[in-house]
Every structure is written in C-alpha cells, then in structure tokens.
Amino acid sequence: MERLAELSRDDRLRALEDLVLNVMAQTGKRIRRWDMHRSFRELGVSGGRAMRLRRALADRTGQTVTNSVLLDHPTPQALARHFEASLLRDGGASVGPAGSENGGPAPRDEDETVAVIGMACRYPGGVQGPDDLWRLADQGTDAITPLPTDRGWDLTALTDTERGSHNTTYSRGGGFLTEPGLFDAEFFGMTDAEAYATDPQQRLLLETSWEVIEHARIDPSSLRATPTGVFVGVAHQSYSAPLDQEPEELQGHSLVGSLGSSLSGRIAYALGLEGPALTIDTACSSALVCVHLAAQSLRSGESSLAIAGGASINSTPGAFAAISRQRGLAPDGRAKSFSAHADGFALSEGVGLILLERLSDARRNGHPVLAVIRGSAVNQDGTSNGMTAPNAPAQERLIRRALADARLRPDQVDVVEAHSPGTEFGDPVEVRALQATYARDRAPERPLLLGTFKSNIGHSLAAAGAAGVMKMVMALRHGRIPRTLHVEEPTTHVDWSSGTIRLLAEPEPWPETGEPRRAAVSSFGITGTNGHVIVESAPQERADETVALVGAGSPAGDVPAAVAIADKSSPSVPVPGSADASSDPAVPWLLSARTASELCDQAARLREHVAARPGLSDLDIGCSLATTRARFEHRAVVVAHDRSALLRGLDALASGGTSPGLHRSRADDPDADASCVLTLDAAGARLAAEEAPRLHQAFPAFGAQLRALCERAGEELGESVDADELLRAPESGAAPADELRAFLSGLALLHLLESWDVRPGSVTAHPDALALAAHVTGALPFADALRIATVRAHRAEGGPDEDRQEAAEHLTKLVAELSPETPWIPLSLTAGQPLTPHDLRDPALWLRSHASESTPAPGTTLELRGSGTDMTARLPLLPDEVGTGAPNVEDRAMRRVDGLLTALAQYEAHIGGVDWGAVLAERGARTVDLPTYPFQRRLFWAPFRAAQEQS
C-alpha cells in the first residue's frame, strides 16, 4: 500500500480496483471490471462471503476493515476509492471521488446559461425518441386512438356514451403508448417479481434516463458517483395494489414499486447518481417545474448535470372515469385547442426526459448543445375561482417573471407552445394572458405564433411540459414550426382582430428576426401551480473556435447529426464519409451489450443507422462507439479500412457469422476467465524503433512518449539522444537502430499500451529484453534499466574479447548496486519461474545471452490464455510477418500498425477494458449521434384493478 501513494491518481485507483478484484476472486467471487459499479448485494456478496472478503482485504491492505465497510462503500468501485482515500487522509479529511470536492459545491453562478444536451421520450403514435416526436409533429399526425384493449380494462363496463353512469367514461379514445408494460428487467438488475410490482412509470423512466444520457453522447456508466441531479414529475399513480392487498407472488416489492419518491430515487440508484433526486407532483405542470428546479440546481453548483422531465401512464381507466364525472373530456378523445369546436381535453400519457448542463461545462466537455434554457419561472394561482380553474392574472405574472429571468422583452420571443388542453373555458383564459404579455405593444407584422402539441397526442399530464420543450427544441433546430391540428375555425371567445397573435393552422418557417430563435412553453397544473420555460437556439461559437456540422450525415429532412467544436490548433477533421485514405490506420468499431442477443441487435441497428447516413465518417462513428457507450459482458470489435468491410463485419455480427475484421467475445461464455501475458524481446523493441515514424504518424502519443524518454535518457547518460532521428522515415539502406534506441522505442510502445489501459497479468522476457521488462513491471527504475540496457548493448556488439570482458565486468558491478523492488505483476524469463528482487541482483541472470534461449524470439506479443478452456491466442503487437501482399516498406508499416489494432481488438474481446477513446484521440475524430441501447423487453403488466378482476 505504501508504494501506491507514489502513483498518479488514475494509476492508484486502477491498482486498487485490481486489488479488490483479485481479493474477491480469491474469496470465491470473480467479477469483471465492467461490473465494478454493481452493488455487492447484486453480485451475491453477503453473509459468509462478505466476512471472508473483509478479512482478506484487511490482510492484503494492512488496514482496519470494519464490519460496515461493504454497507458504507457498497460497490467494488466505491470500496477501491475508500482505500485510496485512506491512503491520502489528511487531518481526518478524506479525498472524495474523482472530480469532486468531497461533497463541496461547485462555484455558484446565478447568471450561467443552462444548455439542453440530450432528450429521450415515449409518447403516443409510436414515438420512441425525439426524432420520432419531431416527425409526428412535423407531419401533422393525429396520434389519438380508441381505448386500449390490451391493458385488462373492461371496456364494455367502462364505456357509457350517454354520460350517465358512475365510474364510466363517455370518451371514445385518447393518446396511448404501445405496450407500456414492456421492460428490460435483466438490464436493470430486477427480478420478475420486482418488475411486476414496480409501477410502469418507474420502469419507463429507467429506460429513458439511460437513453437521454446516451443521446447527449455520454457513457451513462461514467456518471456514477457524480453530483448529477434527477428531477422527475408525476401526476398520479394507479398501478399498484394497496400494500395490505399485495399478491403474495410480488414478494413485498410493491412498497418501493409504488412510492412516488422511487420515480427519481430508482434512477439515481440504478445509475449511481449522487446529486439531488426529487419527485415533483404539481400535476400537469410537473415537468416544467422540474426543468425550472434543475436549472436552479445547476446554476447553484448543486448539480453537475440534471435529468428533468415527467411521466404519466394510465395503468387503469380511473382517470377517464374521474374526469368524465366532471364532464372534462372530449368525446372523441381529441384536443381541439383554441378551436371553436373545443369540447374538452384529450387524456393521454407519455414519458419525457431532458438532460441539462451548464453551457460552459457542455462546451468544455464537448457535449452537443441542442438549445439553451434562456429563462424560467414557477408560481401559483393562489385563491382563484375554484381550485381547478385557470387564472389569467397568475399566468401573466408567471410570463413576466420568466421574461425577467431571461432578460428579454416580450417581442423577442417568437413562438409559444401553449398549455391549451382544448377546453372551451381554459383556452381563452390562456390567450388573454398571452395578449396581456407577449402580444402587448407587438407589431402586427411580427405576430406571436401560437400552437400546441396536445392537438397531436392529447394531454400527457406530468409529461406534457417535457413534450412541449422537446417539440420546440427540434423546431428551433429545423427552422420550421409544425401546425396545430383541429384549429381551422378559431374560438370565438377570443378577439383575434389585432393580429398580434396568429394560430399555427399551417406549418410555418421560423421567422428570421436577426436574433436567436426563441420559444416559450407553458404548463398549468390543475391545482394552480404553473410553469413557463423560455428556450433559445444554441448560441454561436466564439470566434476562436470552429464548428463542424455533419449535415450529410443525416437522413433527408433531419437536422445535422453531429456538432463538434475543436480548437483551430487541433488536427484537421477528416472529410465525412468513408474517405479514410489508404495510408491511414484501420478504424475500430466497438459494440457492447449485456446479452448476446442484444449485441446482435445492436449491430443490426447500427448497420441500419449508418446505411441511412452515408456522410458520417467511419472514424467519428468509431470514436462515438468507444467514448459514448457503456461497456458490458458481451463485446465485439470490427476493424477495417473501409465502410464496406465495416458493414460486412456488422452483418456478420448481427447474423452470428464471421468476418475477417470481426473479433468478439465468446457468445456462450463471455465471462470466461482469460489472462494476458506480455512477451518481450529485443527483436520486438528493434521493430518498434524501425516503425517509430509510422507509429508516430498513426498515434502521435507514441512520438510524445518517445521524445520524453529520449530527453530523460540524455540526462541520465550525459549525451544527447535524438528523438527526431528515430521519428524520421529512414533512408533506404539505413542501418538498424542500436540497442539503446530500440530500448527507448520499445518502452515508448509499452507506455502507449498502458495509456490505452492494456494491462497484462504477467510479463515474460527474453534475456535481451529483461531490463525493459523489469522497468515496466516496476522492479527497476528508469535510470537503472537504461544503464543495464546500454551496457548489455555494448557487450552484444562484439569486438575484441577484452572489450566484451570489460563490458561484462561493468555489468556485474552495475547489477551489484541495484535495489530492485518486487514487480507489480509477475515477471519471468521465457519458460521460467517468476523472478524475485533477489534474482534481479544476480549478475548471471543479466549475463545470459539471447542465443542461450531455446524458445525463438516472437517479438513483442500479447498472449491471451483462457482459464479452463483451450483458448490461446498469440497477438504480435507489430507483426514481423505481414504476408506477401505488402510489397513495399510503406505497406508493411501500415500492416504492422493494423496488426497493433487487431491485437487490441482481440484483447478487448477476451479481456476487455481498452481505452479506445485514447487510441483514437489524436486522429481528428469527434462524436456523432448513434442508436441508443437495444433493450430486450418483456411484458410486465399486472395493474391492481386488472389483477383483482382476473382473480
């Protein structure tokens, strides 16, 4: 543990995670790195196994491990961080997780702009995401359908078109999700009993919360232990049974499954989020109230990111019956907003989530900025003409407060996405408030444009405000505003004659005003709490930044698929499409899923997505797959130079076939233990020196490592070591690099592998590469390894016997002065036993010649070995044999670099954990939109009333 304190924080955490994994394996519970975020309970560590783990950890760390340590730090990842904090404890204050200040707030900035960086949703009309939502709105689709027949409702008893019977409805339809009971329980670690007992609003929020993060091009697993907030709105819950009537087969899960607080708390638990988690019930305004609170949390520094939105699912027909008793529903289930034919609102449902981040953070983190929240406000009607009656003065106050928060004049807002549920009384009240605020002193030639998404899908209650925000964000980006349905004849209860408000009876292009596009969204709760949010188009980038838009990457009619910002000094961005030059390295596409079927499905969806967007860069797709998606048990990597070969790999993966560039984990046993042995010899180091120019071209980090090592070597040896000489393409007939430069080049390659998170479990070295191996395993410091390599090189050069004898004596003296440490990982000579520090002080070990070894030198290789299986794969990092199809030096160099990528792909498939983002970091790649996770859903539908009737 003492040596850990000398490492960088990233290396220290990695070493401690390895320690926890190893100790767990020794106590009979082997897990993989991608499961380190799962709780010990989920992993089956409890009782006697937990006790053995605590004892083993105490023995290995030398620290006191309390009985409550697994409760206080409930995941292997959290446990590793706990041990890291104990190493650096100062005056009793522990160091918190990376990027935190031990719970302290971030800098507060009340004027900070908040950006919309991701969206996810489920709404009627088959809407599964924001692109579907836009298509439905843009095409003017009516998504209202008859009452559902697949929810266990007794429609015969429920329907009474004469409006007379108790607990019946006269409404013939509404807005309904397709199969709201479908859910991927296994993905979120829920048993069947727990899934059945859990309100579908919670389940749908789990899936959409994962998707909203992916839509922002963020790996959801990367947000664990971050102060990401969750603000979720809800209006009513009707799924679960009263707790004293819970069916026995639900095993007590109904308690948590029915709590309103679980709507936000379950998201935070499942994703490991540590910011505020609030469930808000202000009825119809819940989603906008959540957006308002989330923006405040971000500006105050309380949250680093915030998920905001709402959910409303009609598990039972109770809401239809209750509102029918008040004669509030439209008989045909359609909202005729602002229409002379308005006859009640359309009951609907849905789930909508928005991911928010401070604009400065979004820019710095490279996240897409879809729009910004320019201002928002929340207020209450107070005493109005009935608790559920709308109040125009309260709505006016709300709008003025939101405009003041946005620091805007009313005429600077172009469009209002209205609350308007389609009632004869409520719609005119809303218009009068708009006339008194937005339309006041407004020029008729620039009227306020007014519409509502409720005319398409109905009133989705707690999710309605989120739908309105998403519709307006998409309209801002597309530059056109969809029409409102059923409004051919405007209501006569409003004086429209001033022309300062115009209903969107037809779609219109967004008015060009010379200012950013702006829209406001309103939601008014049935109990008087109102919300108003003003959204604005994403701001123009600063003059010292360049913005790259991949317009060709979108299907026809879609907005640009990627927005990337790069400093002008960064490498140039490749031309979109499959334009990878033949001299460029191959491109890896990484896919990962929890199950083999999901992996195949993901390949099929990606293939369809890419085929529809031929302008996307292969490199950008590879970068996005590597950096914006979580890693799971089942993994596959397709490595190829051109789009057609990459697509063939996807086709093979989707169909369960094979392809030359496809490398995948074992479908039958992805968790099968595999180990990795790094084999080193001088031939491999010399090959690294020979290919240094090409490696530097393909991976600039290699050149940076080599320059730093040459500088250190020059300081230690007292003579200049020219890195530029190594990084220049050699002239024809040039002599091979000497042993010193081979040592430095080989070490630069190994440092490059380390920066990519390639972590062998052991190292085997031929005698001529022992100094290199001893250094990379931590047994020898750089200076000692360098001097030994230099002396051995002089001894190996030949010459008079007396010169060789002198070199041997020098080497013997040098070895005697060594103070080796125990290697971090086992180190051995080829086919030998692990070496100890005592062995490394034996001159005979260092005087052995490579010729004395019977095993041929394979070069630098990664050897993958399956535990308990016949899997063995030797992967040369720079293949010496590149085949007859490489007729010239450049082709051979390219194939060797491709061999390195192939070795990484095999390592990923069988071991996992390669940092592909680092591999691609300096190739000018940026992130683009990808399909979200392919959840494999099953039906879990047992609402209390339906279950009671069936029983």
Over the stretch 654-688, which tens digit does the pLDDT of each residue have? 999 999 999 998 766 655 667 788 999 888 888 89
pLDDT range class, residue 582, cuts 50, 70, 90 = low
CA–CA distance, 508 with 856 (Å, rounded to integer): 74
Quick check: 325 pLDDT over 90?
A: no
Q: What is the rounded CA–CA span in Å between residue 474 and residue 370?
A: 8
For residue 801, the model assigns a pLDDT of 67
pLDDT at 604 over 80: yes
Up-side HSE of residue 195: CA atoms within 13 Å toward CB? 20
Which has the closest alpha carbon to 468: 630, 296, 310, 701?
310
pLDDT for residue 596 = 93
Provide the pLDDT for residue 556.
36
The pTM of this model reads: 0.88
pLDDT digits (tens, 9 = 90+) for 245-263: 778 788 788 888 889 999 9
From 121, 284, 290, 600, active-site residue: 284
Q: What is the pLDDT of residue 103?
A: 47
pLDDT digits (tens, 9 = 90+) for 693-716: 999 999 999 999 999 999 999 999
Backbone phi and psi for residue 893, each to the nearest 5 degrees, phi listed first: -65, -45
Whether the per-residue pLDDT at 73 is higher than 60: the answer is yes
Confidence of residue 780 (pLDDT cuts 50, 70, 90): very high
Q: What is the DSSP letter of 345?
A: B
Per-residue pLDDT, 38? 79
pLDDT of residue 126: 96
**Residue 478 annotated among the catalytic residues of the structure:** no
Which residues are 863's β-sheet partners? Answer: 677, 874
**Which band of pLDDT confidence, cut at 50, 70 and 90, is reported for residue 479?**
very high
Lowest mean pLDDT among 505-514, 743-752, 799-808, 891-900: 799-808
Q: Residue for token digits 């083993």? A: 56
Over residues 926-950, the mean pLDDT reads 81
Let me know: does 436 contact 398? Beta carbons within 8 Å.
Answer: no
The per-residue pLDDT for range 25-52, each reduced to its tens digit, is 777 777 777 677 778 887 788 778 888 8
Does 199 have pLDDT greater than 90?
yes
- How far apart CA 823 and CA 514 sit, in angstroms, is 66
As a whole-number percent, the residues of the chain with pLDDT over 70 amount to 85
Q: Out of 236, 367, 459, 794, which one is annotated catalytic?
A: 459
SS3 for 764? strand
Tokens of 142: 């009516």
In the chain, what is the straight-line distance between the N-terminal and C-terminal CA atoms, in Å?
A: 61
Q: 593 forms bridges with which residues in the sheet?
A: 634
Q: Are strands 762-765 and 827-829 parallel, antiparallel or unpaired?
A: parallel
Indicate whether 53 pLDDT > 70: yes
CB within 8 A of 625, min separation 6: which ones? Answer: 589, 590, 591, 606, 916, 930
Cβ atoms within 10 Å of 160's Cβ, excluding its own: 15
**In the numeric block, which tokens belong to residue 907?**
């390592």
pLDDT tens digits for range 817-839? 999 998 888 999 986 788 999 99
pLDDT of residue 352: 98
Please list, in sequence order, all residues whose beta carbon lies within 8 angstroms of the beta carbon of residue 524, skipping any fewer than 6 positions away. Answer: 284, 285, 390, 395, 419, 426, 430, 530, 531
Per-residue pLDDT averaged across 921-945, rounded? Answer: 89
Quote the mean pLDDT of the chain: 85
Interior/surface letters 741-768, b for 16+ CB within 10 angstroms, e for the rest: bbbbbbbbbbbbbbbbbbbbebbbbbbb
Residue from 144, 125, 135 nearest 482 by CA: 135
Question: Is the predicted pLDDT of residue 628 greater than 80, yes or no?
Answer: yes
Q: Which amino acid is at 758?
A: V
Q: What is the DSSP letter of 540?
A: P
634 belongs to the catalytic site:
no
Which tokens is 942 given? 């047992």
CA distances from 846 to 201, 379, 683, 839 (A): 68, 79, 17, 10
What residue has token string 């592998």? 753
Pairing of strands 228-234, 182-183: unpaired
Of residues 236, 367, 419, 751, which has the active-site annotation?
419
| pLDDT 10s digits, 276-324 | 999 999 999 999 999 999 999 999 999 999 999 999 999 999 899 989 8
Sequential DSSP letters for 362-389? HHHHT----EEEEEEEEEE--S-SSTTS
Cα–chain center distance at 273? 13
Does residue 676 carry a catalytic annotation?
A: no
Q: What is the pLDDT of residues 855-883, one digit of tens each?
A: 555 567 888 776 544 556 778 887 765 54
Structure confidence by residue, pLDDT tens digits, 131-156: 999 999 999 999 999 999 999 899 99
